[in-house]
Amino acid sequence: MLWKVIQKELDKRKWSLHKFSEISGIPDSTLRIYKFRGSDPSFTNACKIADALDIKLDDLRERK
């Protein structure tokens, strides 16, 4: 997953990671793992991220 996509959306909305955690229902600590360690979320969390950002799930995947 491209954290750049998420960060762009967060910046557009002026949401902090904490606020995004509250809106998405994903713990702040989990979001930090995605952001700082580059880990990919589970399908369930990817869906929560896309829903919270009101974007398509496909927009989160890395294109080769």
CATH of the domain at 28: 1.10.260.40
Residue 2 has a pLDDT of 80
Instruction: Identify whether 49 is part of a domain.
Output: yes
**pLDDT tens over the chain, length 64 residues:** 688 899 999 999 999 999 999 999 999 999 999 999 999 999 999 999 999 999 999 998 766 5
Domain count, the chain: 1
Q: What is the torsion angle, in degrees rounded to the nearest 10, for the CA atoms of residue 13, residue 11, residue 47 and residue 33?
A: -140
Amino acid code (one letter) for 31: L
Show the domain range for 7. 3-57
Instruction: Identify whether 64 is part of a domain.
Output: no
Residue 30 has a pLDDT of 97
Instruction: Identify whether 29 is part of a domain.
Output: yes
Instruction: Identify whether 41 is part of a domain.
Output: yes
DSSP state of 27: -
Give the pTM. 0.89
Residue 23 has a pLDDT of 97
Alpha-carbon distance of 24 to 47, in angstroms, equals 9
List all residues 6 or more positions away from 29 whose beta carbon is below 8 Å from its beta carbon: none
